[in-house]
Amino acid sequence: MTGTQPTFNSLKLHPNLLKGIKELGFTRPTPIQGDAIPPALEGRDLLACAMTGSGKTAAFLLPILHRLMEKPRGTTRALVVTPTRELAAQILQVLEELAVHTPITGAAVFGGVGMGPQEHAFRSGVDVLIATPGRLLDHLKSPYAKLDKIEILVLDEADRMLDMGFLPDIKRIISKVPPKRQTLFFSATMPGPIGALAREMLDKPATINLERKSAPAVGITQAIYPVAADLKSALLTELLKRGIMQQALVFTRTKHRANRVAEFLIKKGIKAERIHGNRSQAQRTQALAGFKDGTYTVLVATDIAARGIDVDQLEHVVNFDVPMVPEDYIHRVGRTARAEATGDAFTFVSPEEEGELSAIERAVGKRLPRVTLPDFDYKARSQEKLEVPLAERIAQIRAKKAEDRQRAKAKLERKESGSRGGSSSSRGPSTRSSSSTSGSSRPAAPAARGEAPARGEGGSRGADDQKRRRRGGRGRSGGGSGSGPYSG
């Protein structure tokens, strides 16, 4: 868009939307909003390359709300597909804030929570559905879930969905919505498969920022802290205790490391929590809420959360581990300096991570400044291990398996000893019973059906069955069915 900077009033949005925007304290559109809203209001398809933290959520929500304002209620007409639970919840929150003076309703559909309220949203026909691909497809297996009235489809963070393997799911979802629709396509980067998908989906789209090279937001101050891998935890602790960072979102490479970093900080008296894919939805929600309200000074996260955490006035993001690809770096640091604010992004770089750092510097087009913390002992020997070395982990696993085998062997020997002792006392009655039934051994059969092989004794089921047949009906007195509790 050229010429003077637009205002929200000049974008010709519905007065009730303008009222909500004013109450939220927004004074003027961000560049992506100024560029995207006019063609979207006209009903055109849109292909936008928008960096995280640029205000793109409102860039697609405001046109949706405006266009649905005068429509009858009770029909879902807009679908937003997004990669993560946190991002879906965040989009719903923004929608509710913008639509506060309108009758428009919305619902988030994602995994980790019950499907009942989500089913109700389908059946009642909320105006806007915001969904992750997997849970949406789960619902679409049921007759109550229909997308045949969708008029506006939004793909948000399309490149992240590609990274997470959702491309086949996206194509299945597209097949469920009407071909005649408006499609708004947002992606922070535009790799080949995403460009191909956009060409399939879009009809003569308005394009925004496609020539722009992916880069962190202008307001982010970036710094590199060279440090040995085993001193990263100590360096993080020192930055916090010296007050250089009041609050920080810390990204690690793995879920295991996120757990260990959070535990390390808690031991040092720092209020910390973690958020990653192995945490339940309730735990993730609680952790994020606690970080937002100041209960936790540090939130340790994996990349799954890099595009779903939106915290007002977050001043510091720390890359505890250097991300493997530059795009992840851009999305991580984009959690700060959101909506044209300012913030700091610190990256801890060990000698082993210099290659990844070089790739990031090539992507952002400059060498990032190196910083050392005064009076920090960079030559100290760490007493804390965040990760057990691979060879040591393998040795521990083997030792555990050997211990399990030994325990199973001892259990089997005890069972055989008990079986031999019991069979001599029970053989007499069993023989008499057999002679009275013309040699039949049928009384033993129900016991064999009713018992299950002991855990940890795989490979010996045939021998166990023979021992159970020898024991006959022992252990079955009391008339129970012998089926055991259902373990699902």
Would you state the pLDDT for residue 218? 55
Q: Where are the domains of the chain?
A: 9-208, 220-388
Question: Mean pLDDT for the chain?
Answer: 80
Bin 331: left if φ > 0, else alpha if -120 < ψ < 50, else beta.
alpha
152 backbone dihedrals φ, ψ, rounded to 5°: -130, 125
Q: Is the CA virtual torsion 314, 316, 318, 323 positive or negative?
A: positive
Determine the average pLDDT of the residues in 81-106.
93
Q: In this structure, how many other beta carbons lie within 10 angstroms of the beta carbon of residue 251? A: 29
Bin 202: left if φ > 0, else alpha if -120 < ψ < 50, else beta.
beta
Contact yes or no for 131/80 (Cβ under 8 A): yes
Would you state the pLDDT for residue 232? 93
Determine the average pLDDT of the residues in 179-203.
87
Contact yes or no for 272/296 (Cβ under 8 A): yes
Contact yes or no for 30/54 (Cβ under 8 A): yes
Would you state the pLDDT for residue 437? 41
More confident position, 112 or 272: 272
Q: At 103, is the secondary structure helix, strand, or coil?
A: coil
pLDDT bracket for residue 340 (50, 70, 90): low
Tell whether the model's pLDDT for residue 31 goes beyond 80.
yes
More confident position, 301 or 211: 301
Tell whether the model's pLDDT for residue 357 goes beyond 80.
yes
Contact yes or no for 302/251 (Cβ under 8 A): yes
Determine the average pLDDT of the residues in 363-373.
89
Q: Do domains 9-208 and 220-388 have the same CATH topology?
A: yes
d(CA 374, CA 242): 11
DSSP 380: P
Determine the average pLDDT of the residues in 121-139.
96
Cα-based angle 72, 73, 75 (whole degrees, multiple of 5):
100
More confident position, 278 or 97: 97
Would you state the pLDDT for residue 20? 92
Would you state the pLDDT for residue 112? 85
Mutual angle of helices 15-23 and 56-68, in 10-degree steps: 150
d(CA 57, CA 37): 11
9-208 in CATH: which number? 3.40.50.300
Would you state the pLDDT for residue 456? 39
Among the listed ranges 76-85, 309-318, 425-434, which one has the minimum average pLDDT value?
A: 425-434
Tell whether the model's pLDDT for residue 466 goes beyond 90.
no
Contact yes or no for 162/193 (Cβ under 8 A): yes
CA 186 to chain centre: 19
Tell whether the model's pLDDT for residue 195 goes beyond 90.
no
Determine the average pLDDT of the residues in 160-188.
89
Would you state the pLDDT for residue 473? 44
Mutual angle of helices 354-364 and 326-333, in 10-degree steps: 70
Q: In this structure, how many other beta carbons lie within 10 angstroms of the beta carbon of residue 310? A: 21
Would you state the pLDDT for residue 446? 43
Q: CB-based contacts of 331: which residues, under 8 Å, 6+ apart?
A: 52, 160, 188, 303, 306, 307
Tell whether the model's pLDDT for residue 311 goes beyond 80.
no
Would you state the pLDDT for residue 450? 41
Percent of the chain with pLDDT over 70: 76
**What's the topology of domain 220-388?**
Rossmann fold (3.40.50)
pLDDT bracket for residue 471 (50, 70, 90): very low
d(CA 275, CA 138): 24
What DSSP string describes 431-454?
HHHHHHTTT--GGGHHHHHH--PP
Instruction: Kindly state the tokens that stand for 350.
Output: 């060990």
Radius of gyration of the chain (CA): 30
Would you state the pLDDT for residue 194? 81
What pTM value is reported for the model?
0.60
Would you state the pLDDT for residue 270? 94
Tell whether the model's pLDDT for residue 408 goes beyond 80.
yes
Tell whether the model's pLDDT for residue 198 goes beyond 70.
yes
Contact yes or no for 338/286 (Cβ under 8 A): no
Would you state the pLDDT for residue 333? 78
208-242 tens-digit pLDDT? 875 555 555 556 788 999 999 999 999 999 999 99
Tell whether the model's pLDDT for residue 436 goes beyond 90.
no
Would you state the pLDDT for residue 382? 67
d(CA 47, CA 208): 6
Would you state the pLDDT for residue 389? 59
d(CA 365, CA 348): 19
